[in-house]
Amino acid sequence: MNCLDYRRNLETEPGRVTPEMQAHVQTCAECSAWSAGLRAFEARLQRALAVGVPAAKALELPALSTPPARRFALAAGVLGAIGIAALAWFSFPRETLAAELVAHVEEEPQSWSTTEPVPEPTLDEVLRRSQVSAHFPPGSVTYARSCRFRGHLVPHLVVHDEQGSVTVLILDAEKVSAKTSFSEEGMSGVILPAAHGSIAVLSREGAPVDAIAERMREALGS
Amino acid sequence: MNRASDGNERRRRFDALCTALRPDLFRFAFWLSRDRAIAEDVVQETLLRAWRAMDELRDEKAARQWLLTIARREHARLYERKRLPTVDVDELIEREEPLLAAPDELELQDVRRALFRLDEAYREPLVLQVLMGYSTEEIARHMGLKVGAVLTRLFRARHQLREMLAGETRAPLPAARLERT
């Protein structure tokens, strides 16, 4: 290792000193002095980044379940709104479903960062909970959770296909009459009718979701 | 366990997470936006989303990465939604002067000003590495980049910072060793 490589490596990852770098700095006085300067710079940088944090603002958290006492009061309002809501629903059902799918996927960002295949028993359990049967290529599923979506427990999977990674949600309770494509919040996706309900396939990497969705539908035996 | 105690337990877990991770969240949002008010909005939106999705967080050790990923999207969404105007960096520095030059941290002022001038593409990985302790691989996953691209950005970030800090003294490379072997 020469001085240039040593300095470039240390300047890129100051916390990572390999045995080769260690060997170099022990024999190079210039780089040893330079390293001390870099360490001082790093300490200063760290302090500079740690700006003061203002006091926390009050955070009003929405209730996640409706208390029984309020249900009757809410029911009247809900019934009154049903006519308008139904009109909106039937006018834009797919847009609403797509937006909710994107919001749901965004709330599980860790789903994209896992790379280890999900063990088959885990995947089977996730599918079983929603009474879904599917056959994915071994090792292709890297994320599998049972998620609550629109009141139903749905399998939320990340599947590595030869054309890219996609998020798949199997929506047995969501019936759609035709294929719908959408693009929201930097994600592209498609919702396809399936034997029971529908299947949603989303990608944030520009993967060809139409082609992959067809293969996912085949995996579901639809 | 009944619904009320479920709710209390959820709230207790959430409050504990917020207390522990809010400083990181604010600092990350601040260095993304370079604007204290926007950073506070991003933190609030992030925590609301996290509250709704709390059940999906199975491993609390991953909570910080989970929150920072949500914050990153919230920051982008805020700019998309509000179509915030582009602001001159000198104006930003002037606006955030109280935070950049706290009375007991005047010696850090020049580094903070240089950080403000650093391109966001370089600033974000640097913050994740230096302040959050992310590995290069974790930064790559967080930003959707290849590891090589992250390394390049980290190198350029430090290089540009040091260039901007005129007072910084550097030991020059021995000329004979500049050539790659």
DSSP string spanning B31-45? HHHS-HHHHHHHHHH
For A107, which of B7, B44, B56 is closest by C-beta distance? B56
Q: Is the pLDDT of residue B25 over 50?
A: yes
Interface ipTM above 0.90: no
Instruction: Categorize the per-residue pLDDT at B30 as very low, low, confident or very high, splitting at 50, 70 and 90.
Output: very high
Instruction: Categorize the per-residue pLDDT at A92 as very low, low, confident or very high, splitting at 50, 70 and 90.
Output: very low
pLDDT for B169:
43
- Window B:115-154, CB contacts with A under 8 Å: 115, 126-127, 129-131, 136, 141-142, 144, 151, 154
Residue A114: name the closest of A171, A162, A160 by CA.
Answer: A160
Q: Which residue of A has its CA nearest to B77?
A: A185
pLDDT for B24:
93
Supply the mean pLDDT for chain B. Answer: 80
What is the pTM for the complete model shown? Answer: 0.59
Instruction: Categorize the per-residue pLDDT at B171 as very low, low, confident or very high, splitting at 50, 70 and 90.
Output: very low
Supply the mean pLDDT for chain A. Answer: 81
Instruction: Categorize the per-residue pLDDT at B2 as very low, low, confident or very high, splitting at 50, 70 and 90.
Output: low
pLDDT in tens, A113-127: 777 888 888 898 888
Q: Which residue has the tokens 């759609």?
A: A176
Mean pLDDT of B28-42: 91
Q: Is B30 exposed, middle or buried (0-12, 13-18, 19+ CB in 10 A)?
A: buried
CA–CA gap between residue A103 and residue A185 (Å, rounded):
9
Q: For residue A169, what are the β-bridge partners? A: A156, A200
For A109, which of B18, B66, B127 is closest by C-beta distance? B66
Contact indicator for A94, A176 with CB cutoff of 8 Å: yes
- Residues of chain A with Cβ-Cβ distance to B107 below 8 Å are 44
Reading the block at residue B172, the tokens are: 């020059």
CA–CA gap between residue B129 and residue B173 (Å, rounded):
25
Q: Cα–Cα distances in Å, from B138 out to A113, A191, B66, B68, B146?
A: 9, 31, 12, 12, 10
CA–CA gap between residue A93 and residue B44 (Å, rounded):
30
B36 at interface of A, judged by CB pairs closer than 8 A: yes
